[in-house]
Amino acid sequence: MSDEALRRLPVGSVGHKPFGWWGMLTVVMTEGSLFAYLLFTYYYFVVQYGRIWIPEAPSLRLAGPNTVILLLSSAFVWWAEKSAARGKTKAQSLGLAIALLLGVVFLAIQVLEWRDKPFTLGSGSYGSAYFITTGFHMAHVVVGALMLAAVLLWSLLGYFDRERHAALSIAALYWHFVDLIWLTIFFTFYVTPYIG
Amino acid sequence: MAVADSDRSLELQQSGAPARERLARIWEGEAGLRGWLSTVDHKEYGKRYIATAFIFLILGGLEALVMRVQLAGPNKTLLTPEQYNQLFSMHGLTMIFLYAQPVLSGFSVYLFPLLLGARDMAFPRLNAFSYWIYLFSGLFIYAGFVLGYGPNDGWFNYPPYASMRYNPGPNMDFYAIGMILFGVSSTAGAANFVVTFLRARAPGMSINRVPILTWGTVTASFGILFSVPAVSLAFFLLWTDRQFGTDFFNSGQGQPLLWQHLFWIFAHPWVYVVVLPAMGIVSDALPIFCRRPLVGYTVVVLATVATMVMGFGVWLHHMFATGIPYLALSFFSAASFVITIPSAVAVFAWIATIWTGRPVLSTAFLFFAGFIVMFTLGGVSGVMTAAAPADQQLTDTYFVVAHIHYVLIGINVLAVMGGLYVWFPKMTGRLLDERLGRWNFWTVFLGFNIAFLPMHWTGLAGMPRRIYTYPEGLGWTAVNVVTTIGAFILAAGVLLLLVNMYVSRRHGAAAGPDPWGGPTLEWATTSPPPTYNFAVIPAVASRHPLWEGSLDESGERSSLQRGMILDDGKEMLTTTALDAEPDAIQKMPPDTLAPLLAALAATALGAAALLHAWIGATIFTLLLFAALLVWLWPQRAMGQISEQAHV
Ligand code: HEM
Ligand SMILES: [Cu+2]
């Protein structure tokens, strides 16, 4: 360990070293599995019942733009984290605020989409699968938005600098994950009925 | 002084009395009730996990004894059919969920940091949280049982019997919500093990020098992370089916078999979750009593991981009788044969270790030897049920009940009991009594085999499982009497262990730091260890830091007395995932009530959902978020805040 002794170790939550960052990776793993099982449920029904199980050709009118909105929010979160690493605290707060706003818009549009549907939670297994799956995802967006809100608050309080912004990185990881999950849901419910 | 204003050099120091005093002041929590509720010391929670799991073992055991009295003769009327249904369901779920996994978590929570040369788990508060919510989930399910609404459809709970139409009481809702809470507990625990394993090992403890127990636990933890969502989801969907008219598992437009898929995708890996850490206990402790290192460390590690990975591909063998396609049947049957190979590898490694070692016939050794025998027998009956044609005959008979118990009691309970003889001295500073220990072992071992060996025959003779009674003249009476007698002998054996622990805790011989001459780091510190575990962070140079002298391994020696002291507040070292090179110094959280409050809020939320009390549910959700916000608020003292911030 002699040459080791020359090295210096950072103290506290610096960069991606803190336990919390790794903890969030495990959250991503287990929550990713949760959605895999939800989608498994969907495909299981499709295999059992065939195409007729899907009551309507799902419309992309709202879901399409909404997907773009969510992806955009990820981009702003990414920008916020980059800004944090460069010590640009204003851009960091701004990026978080915009991302949070876009997240809320996504939720609002989802509610509209829900109201448009000709089926309900209780009108057969397709409706159940649709509302439960998208509902689970919305719950995750809500949690992600709360995280962004907390991180924004801490950002405005000046808690973060270019080294110490672990909470921001961790929330960002979660947010990207939630967006990625939306893509799989979007693909499953909105795209697969049109292919094959 | 800014806590974390600058990087720190890796200064190595000699451990000494002043350092110990300083560390004790930093790490020790409050005394009294508040301290008891707010502590985040992993050793506390390890012991609590084990104690709580044992209480559930006793409850589950009592339920089993009542069933055995009912079954001791034909046409008995001690229990009504409904009571019997609730008893076998409660017994099964208590043993599988509330005993078998938490007891192993207890060992791992206690031992992980000690084995890895760390001061605590990566997330001490999460550790507290997962204990509390485990306790509350158990109480939740038992509350239903006490109110007369215990689950009554077996631990695997198949719809349509579990759906509203055929099971209108709240029994299933207690079970469903309780299991979701339990899932939160096991998931939180698993995340903690994974991160601790990857990031908190002593410097030098590269990935090929880690004790097997931690390999077993971390492998099981990955299994939990990937499999528990399946069952939590299944229970959630069952609950919405029952309460909100969704249509997942109903026999109309839903699919009852979907439940079986989701359940077994979880529950087969779960079987490995409740045995791999136990196998780890044996792999680490058996060599101590053979006075030699485990034969085939690398092979055993690979077998452990391989078992878990393959464990995700065999769930269908629980559904052989459901009319699934022939091809699937053959594939899953074959896969189930293949999965026995890694287990066999482990068995051979243990046998070779005994064979080439100089065995010391202590009580712990007896338990481990018994474990190997039972493991083999349980494996054989398992292979028999893995053969699809044989399973068509054996499924839902007592043969399966015999198999479950050989596996679960053999691989879990015996390993746990042996493990207690090994580490109870570490936890309490007192040895368990060896004479009583022998009585303990032989009563358990004989009682167990008297109870369950004949049960294979009961099953072959056609007696179905889960029946509350049976008529005369089917040739089942004699075996059932024998089984009941065996069950009571087994129960007496468990009682002997409890007596031994109770008496030895006060009057046992003093253990000293290393009563068995063990090889791994936990034996390098006092018994019981100080709150901070190690005065200096040990630097590890081999798999057996404490045996380096006697094994005569050439090369570097581990350094246990000289190392980093890290006494500038509650501090822990993080190391890189593969090579365990020092990477950063982490600040650890102080004692706090937040985990307990969060667990209480989550449980209350579950109760409100059960009652459809939506205002209450909203309030408890808000409380839960508040507790989490307090918990996660960045702390200057933990180096989570910019040094320039004016707060
Ligand atoms: C004193 C020791 C024990 C006795 C006498 C005992 C006895 C029984 C009995 C009578 C049944 C019900 C059979 C039926 O009607 O189908 C049963 C089922 C079961 N037992 Fe045990 N048992 C013991 C310990 C354990 C342990 C330690 C475990 C697990 C760690 C366990 C796991 C199970 C499971 C999973 C079932 C299946 C429940 C179901 O059918 O849903 N048992 N046991
Ligand atoms: Cu299985």
Q: Does residue B4 surpass a pLDDT of 80?
A: no
Check if the beta carbon of residue B617 is closer than 8 Å to that of residue B605.
Answer: yes
Q: Considering only residues 580 to 609 of chain B, which have any Cβ-Cβ distance to chain A shorter than 8 Å?
A: 581-587
Q: Does residue A82 surpass a pLDDT of 70?
A: yes
Banded pLDDT at B498 (limits 50, 70, 90): very high
* List of chain A residues whose C-beta atoms are within 8 Å of the C-beta of residue B621: none
Element at B330 (helix H, strand E): helix B326-338
For residue B274, the ligand closest to its alpha carbon is 1
Q: Does residue B293 surpass a pLDDT of 80?
A: yes
Please give the pLDDT value at position B253.
84
**A–B: how many Cβ contacts below 8 A?**
193
Which residue is closest in CA terms to ligand 1's atom 24? B61
The pLDDT tens digits for B510-534 are 999 999 999 999 999 999 999 999 9
Which residue is closest in CA terms to ligand 1's atom 27? B409
User: Which of B207-221, B398-412, B628-642 is predicted least confidently?
Assistant: B628-642
Q: Give the angle subtended at the CA of B429 by the CAs of B428 and B430, to the nearest 5°.
A: 90
Banded pLDDT at A1 (limits 50, 70, 90): very low
CA separation for the pair B83, B97 (Å, rounded): 21
Please give the pLDDT value at position B381.
87
Looking at ligand 1, which atom is closest to the CA of residue B68?
10
Q: Does A55 touch chain B (CB under 8 A)?
A: no
- For residue B583, give the 3-state DSSP assignment: strand
- Measure B487 CA to ligand 1 centroid, in angstroms: 10
- For an interface test with B, the pick among A28, A128, A165 (most B C-beta atoms closer than 10 Å) comes out as A128
Q: B9, A166: Cβ pair inside 8 Å?
A: no
For residue B152, the ligand closest to its alpha carbon is 1
Please give the pLDDT value at position B6.
53
Check if the beta carbon of residue B368 is closer than 8 Å to that of residue B437.
Answer: no
Once rounded to an integer, what is the mean pLDDT over residues A123-133?
96
Please give the pLDDT value at position B1.
32
The pLDDT tens digits for B438-474 are 999 999 999 999 999 999 999 999 999 999 999 999 9
Please give the pLDDT value at position B66.
98
- Measure B392 CA to ligand 2 centroid, in angstroms: 15
pTM equals 0.96
- Measure B392 CA to ligand 1 centroid, in angstroms: 21
Q: Does residue A2 surpass a pLDDT of 60?
A: no
CA separation for the pair A6, A2 (Å, rounded): 7
Looking at ligand 1, which atom is closest to the CA of residue B67?
10
CA separation for the pair B552, B548 (Å, rounded): 6
CA separation for the pair B550, B286 (Å, rounded): 18
- For residue A77, give the 3-state DSSP assignment: helix
- Measure B460 CA to ligand 2 centroid, in angstroms: 20
User: Residues 6 or more apart from B42 whose CB is under 8 A from it?
Assistant: B109, B110, B112, B113, B120, B121, B124, B127
CA separation for the pair A143, A196 (Å, rounded): 35
Q: Does residue A143 surpass a pLDDT of 90?
A: yes
* List of chain B residues whose C-beta atoms are within 8 Å of the C-beta of residue A36: 229
Mutate to test the pocket of ligand 1, among B91, B416, B453, B495 (most ligand atoms within 8 A of CB): B91
Q: Does residue B99 surpass a pLDDT of 80?
A: yes
* List of chain A residues whose C-beta atoms are within 8 Å of the C-beta of residue B247: 122, 124-125, 127-128
The alpha carbon of residue A118 and the mean position of all alpha carbons in its chain are separated, in whole angstroms, by 27
* List of chain B residues whose C-beta atoms are within 8 Å of the C-beta of residue A22: 122, 194-195, 198-199
For residue B269, the ligand closest to its alpha carbon is 2
Q: Does residue B179 surpass a pLDDT of 50?
A: yes
The pLDDT tens digits for A30-72 are 999 999 999 999 999 999 999 899 998 899 999 999 999 999 9
Q: Which chain A residue is nearest to residue B230, measuring alpha carbons?
A: A37
Banded pLDDT at B645 (limits 50, 70, 90): low
Which residue is closest in CA terms to ligand 1's atom 28? B95
Q: Does residue B252 surpass a pLDDT of 80?
A: no
Q: Considering only residues 174 to 193 of chain B, which have any Cβ-Cβ distance to chain A shorter than 8 Å?
A: 187, 190-192
Please give the pLDDT value at position A196.
63
User: Residues 6 or more apart from B452 whose CB is under 8 A from it?
Assistant: B402, B405, B406, B409, B483, B486
Please give the pLDDT value at position B646.
55
Q: Among candidates B51, B230, B52, B229, which has minimal Cα distance to B133? A: B52
Q: Among candidates A184, A26, A49, which has minimal Cα distance to B196? A: A26
Identify the residue whose tokens are 């390890």. Answer: B46
Q: Does residue B555 surpass a pLDDT of 90?
A: no
Q: Among candidates B281, B285, B283, B278, which has minimal Cα distance to B296? A: B283
User: Which of A5-14, B252-261, B282-291 is predicted least confidently?
Assistant: A5-14
Cα atoms found within 13 Å of the Cα of residue B226, Cβ hemisphere only: 16
Q: Does residue B389 surpass a pLDDT of 90?
A: no
Once rounded to an integer, what is the mean pLDDT over residues A87-95?
95
Three-class SS string for B223-291?
HHHHHHHHHHHHHHHHHHHHHHCCCCCCCCCCCHHHHHHHHHHHHHHHHHHCCHHHHHHHHHHHHHHHC
Q: B122, A19: Cβ pair inside 8 Å?
A: yes
- For residue B559, give the 3-state DSSP assignment: strand
User: Residues 6 or more apart from A137 whose CB is under 8 A from it?
Assistant: A35, A178, A181, A182, A185
The pLDDT tens digits for B565-590 are 898 889 999 999 999 999 999 999 99
CA separation for the pair A106, A145 (Å, rounded): 11
Mean pLDDT, all residues of chain B: 94
Please give the pLDDT value at position B361.
95
User: Residues 6 or more apart from B262 whose CB is under 8 A from it?
Assistant: A37, A40, A41, B230, B231, B233, B234, B237
Please give the pLDDT value at position B410.
93
More confident residue, B640 or A147: A147
